[in-house]
Copies of this chain bind each other. A is one copy, B any other.
Amino acid sequence: MAQNVYDRPDFFKRYSQFPRSIHGLAGAPEWPEIRSMLPKLAGLRVADLGCGYGWFCRWARENGAASVLGLDLSEKMLARARAMTSDDGVTYSIADLEHLNIPIASFDLVYSSLAFHYVEDAARLFASIYKSLVPGGHLVFTTEHPIFMASLNPGWRTADDGHRLWPVDHYFVEGERKTDWLTSGVIKYHRTMATTLTSLQKAGFRIEQVKEFCPTTDQVAADPLLQEEIDRPTFLLIAAQK
């Protein structure tokens, strides 16, 4: 079973104070880019893997989705998602993406935001998603970028000239990465760029779009902390089709 840090009180409390937890999609700087990679939602049956508070589920329904299934490992996240949702077209259910077992040929779009890097077995995950989609169905997701993930000791360093640099090491040593992010010992799984793309193709997907989140000038002006995102990519954004 995938590690569930979201139900730890300390993690949940800190996570709930994040801009993306308070402001939803508008609080996530990569949202405009991932939104631009989505198909038109009118009439689509949608699944959201790692739905959290359900921001995307509700947005999808407001934008015409026929139905949305939100899946998450965290009871606390789902409880808050349910409390924030008054729409019979949205259903929430607990699920472990590591052992995902969703109905066959039931969805037109599978979406996921920043959840797949918690999953160890990407081949199994992509195969399950592929089966759950109808022919022509879409998978659109964000995940942590391998440049962000690779190092055993991530974090900005200062070069001799004073500029910050991001370390890359152990790039080809895939697997578990333990970091302290909001709580201690958060377990994520590093995969190379080639492994992610090849795993999608082996599952049967055609790669439609590969993007890396880079903030716009306006975003950096509004939130100067985003300046460091110019120096190294944090988020990988992928659209694939069955």
Residue numbers of A with Cβ under 8 A of B are 147, 150-153, 157, 159, 161, 163-173, 192-194, 197-198, 201, 206-207, 209-212, 214, 229-233
5 A/B residue pairs, CB under 8 Å, sorted by A: A159-B167, A165-B167, A170-B231, A171-B230, A171-B233
**Assuming the A-B contacts A147-B147, A192-B212, A193-B212, are A163 and B169 also in contact, with contact meaning beta carbons closer than 8 angstroms in the complex?**
yes
Closest chain B residue to A148, Cβ basis: B168
Complex interface: chain B residues within 8 A of A210 (CB): 193-194, 197-198
User: In the complex, how many angstroms separate the beta carbon of A17 from the nearest chain B beta carbon?
Assistant: 28
**Assuming the A-B contacts A192-B212, A193-B212, are A166 and B164 also in contact, with contact meaning beta carbons closer than 8 angstroms in the complex?**
no
Complex interface: chain B residues within 8 A of A211 (CB): 194, 198
Selected from B169, B214, B233, the residue in CB contact (under 8 A) with A165 is B169
**Assuming the A-B contacts A153-B159, A167-B159, A169-B166, are A233 and B147 also in contact, with contact meaning beta carbons closer than 8 angstroms in the complex?**
no
A161 touches B153 (CB 8 A): yes
Complex interface: chain B residues within 8 A of A150 (CB): 232
Complex interface: chain B residues within 8 A of A171 (CB): 147, 212, 230-233
Q: How far is the CA of A214 from the CA of B146 in the complex (A)?
A: 15
Closest chain B residue to A195, Cβ basis: B212
B214 touches A209 (CB 8 A): no
Give the most central of A163, A194, A209, A214: most B CB within 10 Å. A194
Complex interface: chain B residues within 8 A of A197 (CB): 207, 210
B230 touches A172 (CB 8 A): yes
Q: How far is the CA of A165 from the CA of B147 in the complex (A)?
A: 12
Complex interface: chain B residues within 8 A of A192 (CB): 212, 214, 233
